[in-house]
Amino acid sequence: MSILSDSEEALLARARAIGAEFVCEPESVAKGVREYLRLMDKGLSEPGQAMTMIPTYVTAVPNGTEKGVYLAVDLGGTNFRVCSIDLHGDSKFTLTQAKTPIPKELMTGNSKDLFSFLAKQVAYFIEKHHSQTIDAATPTNFLKLGFTFSFPVDQVALNKGHLLRWTKGFDIPDAVGKDVCELLQKEIDALGLPVRVVALVNDTVGTLMARSYASPGKSGTLLGAIFGTGTNGAYVEKLSRIPKLKKMSEESGTKFDHSSGVMVINTEWGAFDNAMKVLPDTPYDRALDKNSVNPGMQMFEKRVSGMFLGEILRNAIVALMDHGLFKSAHGTSIDENGPLFTAWSIDTSALSTIQADYTSEYTLTKQLLEQQLGVSAATTGDAMAIKTLVYGIGKRSARLSAIPIAATALATGAYENYKKAKADAVPGQEVEKIDIGVDGSVVEYYPGFERYLREALRDIQPLVPGAAGLEDAIRIGIAKDGSGVGAALIALVA
């Protein structure tokens, strides 16, 4: 441990004060849960709410016995993935995939450029990996493709959905209101590919399906949740708790199978509490929102997901530079036109790297500052101060993520059912936990994300009615390759 100078001690005190602004107290999480329960009911009753609670017309989740070979593509926000999936019917599958970053200029251009780029990736994939095997495995002469499209759409049929609005930094005005399956199919046809887009899948629904196919338990998965570029969730809801559904399905003329008594709802929880009644707010959040393409929208997402955590950190670092950051050594130099002074230039993976830096001299953080952030010869004090900020931002993200998870387990009655099963169980009998599938680089790679999330679940237990013992009832598992497998499973029922 190095000895810090007085100026470094002062810097660190200031960093702790900023870090404290990100502290998300138990009562704050509990308030979030209560507000989420309210907005959930509102969204299920009335169309057109910010937290949209979109009916997906998917009325069952898989049990692991499904079989077949399918194509799937996933437009997530950062990458475009193309894959083929062979479902073996025993909760296992084989998957071949290719991943391409989406060129930045296509995110804000026109729809034709974006979708023809996507279709070309499908063409490369088929050519490279699978033309023979897949052709042989498919009885008909075209391949069924499930399209995972992780933006809010008004879905009117399994393979038809009109884009409501862009999120996650995309802005292609001419696509809004159009059927995104048709946009993709048109470009696929233009290339003469033997591929038919049979299902439109939100990544959250895909995650739910994939986890349900692969999960260890006998009963289905309750919730699929994404913590990647953006954040969102889809869960299994009782038809009787979706008052708006009757009118909506009549208006769109969409028929669906009522026999299961349930439907998967895509919550669009990124827009939870856009009114900012309960979400924590700091000057660094406000600066981010002001500079975003959609001020006042996706306020939950802007505090939780990968697209935003780096920018929150950048704002906090800039604030700390007024209080001695990078000033304790003469040799420290900062690139004035570098990432620290360029909005959106810090990737959330940087937070993971810093969070995981347990070297005594903060070598990894100093290295990252030098290589990615344009700061050379930062001191250990500087690095410690930055880690203090990172810790606050990352932990707040994970704790906020407990809000929709707790609320969903409570509102659906899943936790009530668990408690009943537990009361009825004979001594020694295992009661199956509430299964939750998660996907996305933030939950997968941010050090301690699930641990902090679980801490928050425990914190709310005494503060929210009916929540005593909740944390222990919840099982969280990564839905490996969730969007691909999920899209395949939905293409299968198409």
Residues 221-250 that bind Mg ion (CB under 5 A): 228
Please, are residues 370 and 383 in contact by the beta-carbon 8 Å criterion? Answer: no
The one catalytic residue in 86, 203, 285, 439 is 203
Of the pair 212, 231, the CB lying nearest Mg ion is at 231
Torsion angle of the four alpha carbons 453, 304, 309, 21, in this order, in degrees rounded to the nearest 10: -70
- 203 flagged as catalytic: yes
Of the pair 43, 440, the CB lying nearest ligand ADP is at 440
- Where are the extended beta strands (E) located within 37-127? 54-55, 67-75, 79-88, 93-101
Of the pair 242, 438, the CB lying nearest ligand ADP is at 438
Does 146 bind Mg ion (CB under 5 A)? Our answer is no
- 165 flagged as catalytic: yes
Of the pair 270, 381, the CB lying nearest Mg ion is at 270
- Where are the extended beta strands (E) located within 253-348? 262-266, 333-334
CB of 232 to Mg ion, least distance (A): 10
- Write the DSSP assignment of 404-458 as a string of letters: HHHHHHHHTSHHHHHHHHHHHSPTTPPPPPEEEEEESHHHHHSTTHHHHHHHHHH
In angstroms, how far apart are the furthest CA atoms of the chain? Answer: 75
Sign of CA dihedral 17, 18, 24, 27: positive
**Which residues, other chains included, contact 493 with Cβ-Cβ below 8 Å and sequence gap of 6+?**
158, 199
Q: Which does 352 bind (CB under 5 to 8 A by kind): ligand ADP, Mg ion, none?
A: ligand ADP
Q: Which does 8 bind (CB under 5 to 8 A by kind): ligand ADP, Mg ion, none?
A: none
Q: Report the SS3 class of residue 232.
A: strand
CB of 241 to ligand ADP, least distance (A): 29
Q: Which does 339 bind (CB under 5 to 8 A by kind): Mg ion, ligand ADP, none?
A: none
Between helices 380-411 and 414-424, what is the axis angle to 10°? 70
The one catalytic residue in 28, 84, 111, 150 is 150
Going by C-alpha positions, the residue among 235, 203, 234 that lies closest to residue 80 is 203
Which stretch in 54-62, 167-175, 197-205, 297-305 sits in contact with Mg ion by CB under 5 A? 197-205
Q: Which does 272 bind (CB under 5 to 8 A by kind): ligand ADP, Mg ion, none?
A: none
Please, are residues 221 and 486 in contact by the beta-carbon 8 Å criterion? Answer: no
Give per-residue burial for 115-135: e unless 16+ CB within 10 Å, then b.
Answer: bbbbbbbbbebbeebbeeebe
CB of 205 to ligand ADP, least distance (A): 14
CB of 379 to ligand ADP, least distance (A): 25
Of the pair 304, 383, the CB lying nearest ligand ADP is at 304
Does 76 bind Mg ion (CB under 5 A)? Our answer is yes
Cα separation values, 129 from 31, 84, 133, 134, 198, Å: 50, 9, 9, 9, 21
Q: Which does 232 bind (CB under 5 to 8 A by kind): ligand ADP, Mg ion, none?
A: none
Residues at the interface with ligand ADP (CB under 6 A): 76-79, 228-229, 306-307, 347-349, 352, 440-442, 445-446
Using CB under 5 A, count the residues that bind Mg ion: 3
- 45 flagged as catalytic: no
Q: Report the SS3 class of residue 297.
A: coil
Q: Which does 380 bind (CB under 5 to 8 A by kind): ligand ADP, Mg ion, none?
A: none
CB of 351 to ligand ADP, least distance (A): 6
Of the pair 300, 415, the CB lying nearest Mg ion is at 300
Of the pair 57, 300, the CB lying nearest ligand ADP is at 300
Please, are residues 339 and 371 in contact by the beta-carbon 8 Å criterion? Answer: no
Residue nearest to Mg ion (CB): 76
Q: Which does 166 bind (CB under 5 to 8 A by kind): Mg ion, ligand ADP, none?
A: none
Tally of CB atoms within 10 A around 322 = 9
The one catalytic residue in 34, 165, 458, 475 is 165
Q: Which does 273 bind (CB under 5 to 8 A by kind): Mg ion, ligand ADP, none?
A: none
Going by C-alpha positions, the residue among 396, 449, 406 that lies closest to residue 33 is 406
CB of 104 to Mg ion, least distance (A): 18
Of the pair 203, 311, the CB lying nearest Mg ion is at 203
- Where are the extended beta strands (E) located within 231-280? 231-238, 262-266
Residues with catalytic roles: 150, 165, 203
Residues that bind Mg ion (CB under 5 A): 76, 203, 228
